[in-house]
Structure 1
Amino acid sequence: MNACTMIGIAGGSGSGKSTFTNRIKRAFGDQVTLIYHDNYYRSNDGVPLEIRQKENYDHPDAFETDLLIRHLKALRRGESVSCPVYDFSLHNRTENSIELRPSRIILVEGILVLENPELRSLFDIKIYVEADADERIIRRIIRDVSERGRHVEDISEQYLTTVKPMHYLYVEPTKAMADIVINSGRNDVAFDLMKTKIQSLLERD
């Protein structure tokens, strides 16, 4: 297999990074492997739900990033890996896993994928998607209510106690480490540029 290119896509919760990432995935299909850092949240087995609900999920320690790093290195070697699956409604990993196969282009998306130096060093291209704070919280509320079964009161409390402070402490500083900063997941110019870049990488011998 030819050498793969790894692309890290970071940004605050609700910034539009998933929108941008999914647009790339739809454009290239199976030619691209997509990995969500969120699936590598640590297992909370044995922890009561009421306590799991109040954990700080925006701190780097909430993720099993060392496992993600091992998986990315395996994919770069041409090996398949079993990616964990996280259930946001239960605040815990499920018993299921997803087989990820190596490909020429590997996208890794998550709020903190540029925070860890070892993880960051694996990326050939680093992207940060930013958005106004008001837009991010509105998108988060809509997503968490419609997709994750959350209540607005709980979302607001979590945002003020952990999401917002962790964003300014750990997420936003990684913008300076990105090769490309885009102002929206729906930025057509940025998408077209990345699409052209990925196409050129896929066409290499």
Structure 2
Amino acid sequence: MSENNAKRRPIIIGVTGGSGSGKTTVSRAMFEALDGHSLLMVEEDSYYKNQDHLPMEERVKANYDHPDAFDTDLLIEQLQDLLEWKTIEKPVYDYVEHTRSQQVVLEEPREVIIVEGILVLNDPRVRDLMDIKIFVDTDDDIRLLRRIQRDMEERGRSLESVITQYTSTVKPMYHQFIEPTKRYADIIVPEGGENQVAIDILVTKVRDIIRNNQEFTNED
């Protein structure tokens, strides 16, 4: 890594919201709009704790919307490494087996790091690493419908299992842990990926920060 890059701290953008809110869509839209810049996407889901020591019936019953489900210490450690321009070994989560995969993904540090997940604003240690904090706010009914479609099509879940999980853990945890983090957001985006105006404003802001960083480096 060049001496100039070592002096320029990467930008971390946190994007959160309930399951099915459109936070992933917003993150990807920003990622695509910033094409040509040095970008990295870090999904909080990758940091679900390893559960291979538990039988499958226990893994299925786990509350995946509670802060304790995540290895937040590892997420913080790896974000700090990225801020120091160090390569990380990002874990891979297996949704079918309900545990962490044996695989990892080598991720090089980038100028802009988008951290996306349901609880990325919950822990103050993670929040303190962020330059921009975004909350994607979408109605409960819409989020449920999106979750049903996603989990059945992409994760092989049954309709009954999706609804049971939603009513027993997803919705209660949203109101207990996720929705309260809205107060930490710099920007609240209603209706997720459908809100192109908000996405355009966010992209403009990020470009301004990148340009300021580049001007600082050139002056140095």
Coarse TM-score class (shorter-chain normalised): over 0.9
1:174 aligned residue: 181
- Deviant stretches of 4+, over 6 Å: none
Asked whether 1:11 is paired with 2:17, we answer yes
Instruction: List aligned pairs for 1:106-121, cutoff 5 A.
Output: 106-121=113-128
List alignment gaps of at least 5 residues for structure 1.
none
**Rg (Cα) greater in structure:** 2
Q: 2:168 aligns with which of 161, 170, 176?
A: 161
Q: CA deviation at 1:98?
A: 0.9
State how far apart, in whole Å, the 2-side matches of 1:124 and 1:203 are. Answer: 15
* Matched length: 205
Aligned counterpart, 2:27: 21
2:201 alignment partner AA? L
Map 1:1-205 → 2, pairs under 5 A: 1=5, 2-29=8-35, 31-186=38-193, 187-204=195-212, 205=214
Q: CA–CA distance in 1 between the matches of 2:138 and 2:53?
A: 37
Deviation at 1:61, TM superposition (A): 0.4
TM-score by length of 2: 0.91
Alpha-carbon shift at residue 88 of structure 1 (Å): 1.2
Shift in Å at residue 26 of structure 1? 1.8
Q: Secondary structure at the match of 2:20?
A: coil
**2: CA distance between counterparts of 1:50 and 1:94?**
18
Deviations 1:167-204 (A, max 9, x none): 00000000011010011222111110111112222223
Structure 1 position 38, deviation (Å): 0.5
Q: Please give the root-mean-square deviation of Cα atoms over the aligned residues, in Å.
A: 1.0
Please state whether the residue corresponding to 1:203 is helix, strand or coil. Answer: helix
Please state how far the C-alpha of 1:15 moved relative to its aligned partner.
0.2
Amino acid at match of 2:95: F
Equivalent position amino acid for 1:178 in 2: A
Q: Residue 188 of structure 1 aligns to which amino acid in structure 2?
A: Q
Gaps of 5+ in 2: 215-220
